[in-house]
Structure 1
Amino acid sequence: MKRCLIIINPSSGKHIIQNKLDRIIGQLTLQNIVEHFEIFYTEKKDDAYYKAKDCDENQYDFIMSVGGDGTLNEVISGMVDSHKKIPLCILAAGTVNDFANYLNIPSSVNGIVEMIKNFNVISSDVGKINDQYFINVAAAGMFSDISFVVSKEEKKKFGPLAYYFKGMTQLPQQLSTNLHLNVTVDNESFEEDAYMFAITNTNRVGGFDGIIPFADINDGKLDLVIVKRCSITDLIALIKDYRFGKHDKSPFIHYIQGQHIHITCDQDLTMDIDGEEGTHLPIDVHNLQKSIQLLVPLK
């Protein structure tokens, strides 16, 4: 039987996620899958990071992250900084949960229990941006700061729609975004005038699937997509192309993959890192190949 460290953000999902976690623990115990649980509740920012970093991995067979993308980022950051190789299990309890959805992590009690029972482990790359990490996306520019300004009350009331509502209220301001970027990807350098850019590890960003069609979490590469400055008409056409899965061929998209990405800008930009406010430009980004182990469902 296995031993599990559970790191939970109690503000994610409130009583609903606690009830689900209790049922998961009950089933894992009854089915003789897990014999010991240690449960750690976070109280403030970075609690999840330090618990994941400082815990003795020899005491556990796997770690479970319970919370949203921000909690997951902290747990993974702590594990990467301490070079832990025990698997990570994700119980998503946030508003968007992009990374968990990309992995098809089940949301049901039975699904999570079955996943832990099968104990199917894969390796995943992690992005390092300046002195921070990201598992899903690092972005800046148009709409990338929406997650900073949506309140917990709005997320609780509207769910993922809270981000879209907030974005619509800021549309005129967002459309005035004009970034002059100097970019180097591996040995290729170029400049772009852009609305925004995103560096991703998966193909799912902001609740949208297929944004980066060729992204893969264990290909040793990061994916950079830049939305170029264009007219409103062209921007609408680009959105239409996305609906039909043709946006990667748009002349208003610059898409490139690489292991090392360096970006400077003529403005002081704050990065959105896995949905949380992060470092500022300039940025130096590296792919840390297969640096985290993940529990995922059997295909």
Structure 2
Amino acid sequence: MKKLVLFYNPVSGHAAFKNKLDWMVEAFQKRGILLLFYRTKKEGNEDFVDFLREVKPDGVLAAGGDGTVHECVNLLVKHKLDLPMGIIGSGTSNDFATYLKINEDMEAYFDKIAAGSCRRMDVGKVGNQYFINVASAGMMACIAHEVDRRLKNSLGKMAYYLKGLGEIPKFRSVPLVITADGVKHELEAFLFVVINSAVVGSMKNVATGISVEDGKLDLLAIKKCGVHKLMAITADLVAGHPVNEKDGVLHLQAKDFRIETEGELPSDLDGEEGPMLPLTIETIPQAVAIYC
């Protein structure tokens, strides 16, 4: 009998996922799969690695939001555990699962997992941390950290949008020096994102020509502009319209990025707090196998 380990966040998505555990046990059991559980903690989930080495599963399922997926990817890649990973979205947002469209029909997805259907995908690396979907900095990068947890749990994705819209009048640009595969670009920008997929911050289709299997990452930077143009770009993003060819947006594709600025500027990795700039970002091709 195959074994899968469910790495689940008990508080994501209105803390309701734990009520689905028996349903998942039944769903996988009827497919000939034994489901084992690892309940995540706020901090200190390194013992998950020891657990995996002890039980020797055939794969891992990360159940939660973007942060849960981020942590699971980091534990697997850092410790060189080459196990296929599935994503069960249950948090406020799960952008990578949305991009792959893997949670639209859960029964069909469980069939794919049972069949071992997976693809190898790239991840980004910043220092000793990895991200599977996005690294960002600028005015919007702090929003995920500033949204009150109670508001996030009650309003879901809308909490991010409300916070972001409220911050637009306060936006201040920062000087950036971006080096993409050795080519330098200097600009004033409100924010930048380095993305693996085209779904960012619950906004779908932010750019065209995005691939999670091409050995490259894409950078989008919103250049300094007037408030009306900024609001127009923001409206396009929220509406699911790509902005990579818009006037006022810089789009670069590269294997490696170096991003520098003056003073201190915090970054964000998959919705979790990242290091301060400067950032050196590299693509790690085909680093993880994702059930899909």
Between the aligned residues of both structures, percent identity stands at: 30
Match in the other structure for 1:197? 192
1:256 CA displacement: 0.6
**C-alpha root-mean-square deviation of aligned residues, in Å?**
2.0
Q: Deviations over 1:239-288 (max 9, x none)?
A: 46655846322231110100110011013111111011111101000000
Contact 1:140 1:272 in 2 (8 A): yes
Q: How many pairs does the alignment contain? A: 291
Contact 1:218 1:289 in 2 (8 A): yes
Q: Is 2:216 the counterpart of 1:218?
A: no
1:141 CA displacement: 0.7
Q: Deviations over 1:14-49 (max 9, x none)?
A: 5531222321211211332x0x332111122241x5
Deviates more, 1:148-157 or 1:280-289: 148-157
Q: Is 2:125 the counterpart of 1:128?
A: yes
1:12 CA displacement: 1.3
Q: Is 2:246 the counterpart of 1:250?
A: yes
Q: Deviations over 1:206-250 (max 9, x none)?
A: 111111222211100010111100112332443466558463222
* Partners of 2:222 and 2:233 in 1: CA distance: 9
Match in the other structure for 1:292? 288
Q: Is 2:52 the counterpart of 1:55?
A: yes
Contact 2:204 2:240 in 1 (8 A): no
1:50 CA displacement: 4.6
Match in the other structure for 2:40? 42
Aligned residue identity for 2:188:
D
* Partners of 1:261 and 1:4 in 2: CA distance: 36
Contact 2:198 2:204 in 1 (8 A): yes
Deviates more, 1:206-215 or 1:73-82: 206-215
Change (3 A) 1:124 1:15: same
For structure 2, the residue ranges without an aligned partner over 5 or more in a row are none
1:119 CA displacement: 2.2
Q: Residue 12 of structure 2: SS of its match in structure 1?
A: coil
Change (3 A) 1:96 1:196: same
Q: Is 2:10 the counterpart of 1:10?
A: yes
Change (3 A) 1:132 1:244: closer
1:172 CA displacement: 2.1
Question: Which of 132, 155, 158 is the aligned partner of 1:158?
Answer: 155
Q: Is 2:200 the counterpart of 1:231?
A: no
1:171 CA displacement: 2.8
Aligned residue identity for 1:44:
K
* Partners of 2:104 and 2:122 in 1: CA distance: 23
Aligned residue identity for 1:271:
S
* Partners of 1:190 and 1:58 in 2: CA distance: 49
Contact 2:29 2:35 in 1 (8 A): no
Contact 2:31 2:114 in 1 (8 A): no
Match in the other structure for 1:140? 137
Aligned residue identity for 1:37:
L
1:159 CA displacement: 0.8
Q: Residue 182 of structure 1: SS of its match in structure 2?
A: strand
TM-score (norm 1): 0.91
TM-score (norm 2): 0.93
Q: Residue 18 of structure 2: SS of its match in structure 1?
A: helix
Q: Is 2:276 the counterpart of 1:280?
A: yes
